[in-house]
Homo-oligomer: A and B are copies of this chain.
Amino acid sequence: MKRFTIGRTAKAAGVNVETVRFYERRGLIEQPARPAGGRPREYDSGTVARIRFIRQAQDIGFSLREITELLSLRADPGADCADVRARAIEKREEVSARLERLSRMRDALDLLIARCPGGGDLRCCTILEAMEGNAGAGDSASFGTATTARKGKSEMKTTTMTIKGMHCDGCARTVEALLDRVPGVRKAEASFDAHQARVLHDQAEAPEADLVAAVAKGGFEAAVERP
């Protein structure tokens, strides 16, 4: 069996030297006896494998303590095999539970991802919404957008814009949301088929340039249509 210094062992296992020593102190790996003459300790490929296993197990979510237990599952000649077996079964249960939990996590993420339109404004970001948790639980405002009703003379007007970059109805909804959030916009409707948006807005508070800019923030290109 090949022999390594601690440095090479660490490198081979993808950890650093301090970590190897740390594992030794923790009893996760055995510290090889020091050869006579003050020469460096010699590690072998078994140690490397062991360290790799430790990292794998950690990555999966086991703590070092649990990993110690996993590693100690072995049948020493003479050891009580029934005991090993019992512990292995116990561990298997733990692993199963963990699997289930992780798998639920993945499902949750899948659901989030599937429902997300994948682009556009955060207003319609279903991921954030969903994570807000608890069945929508009303409110969920918290995104600012303080629809302050400003005073002053208002000159309402309807503007039609041609929008480039909408790929689906979801995009149209996004455009609407973007427009809705411009202060001074009373109503916004976007159509994917027509590649257009119609906006009822206060000309003073929400000039056309603001509308175009708002839409641009979502990655769309807007041009005001003049009849």
* B143 & A55 in contact (Cβ 8 Å cutoff): yes
Q: Which residues of B lie under 8 Å from residue A57 when comparing CB positions?
A: 105, 131
On whether A99 and B95 interact (CB within 8 A), knowing A73-B112, A119-B82, A119-B170, the answer reads: no
* B126 & A74 in contact (Cβ 8 Å cutoff): yes
A-B contact pairs, 29 of them (CB 8 A): A45-B138, A46-B142, A49-B133, A49-B139, A49-B140, A53-B131, A56-B105, A56-B131, A59-B105, A60-B98, A60-B109, A60-B131, A61-B105, A73-B112, A73-B122, A73-B126, A75-B125, A75-B144, A80-B218, A82-B120, A84-B125, A88-B127, A92-B109, A95-B102, A102-B102, A117-B170, A118-B171, A167-B169, A167-B170
Q: Which residues of B lie under 8 Å from residue A158 when comparing CB positions?
A: none
Q: Is A91 an interface residue when CB atoms closer than 8 A count as contact?
A: yes
- Complex Cα spacing A1 to B95, Å: 36
How many copies the complex holds: the figure is: 2
- Complex Cα spacing A126 to B68, Å: 12
* A81 & B124 in contact (Cβ 8 Å cutoff): yes
* B101 & A96 in contact (Cβ 8 Å cutoff): no
* A101 & B59 in contact (Cβ 8 Å cutoff): yes
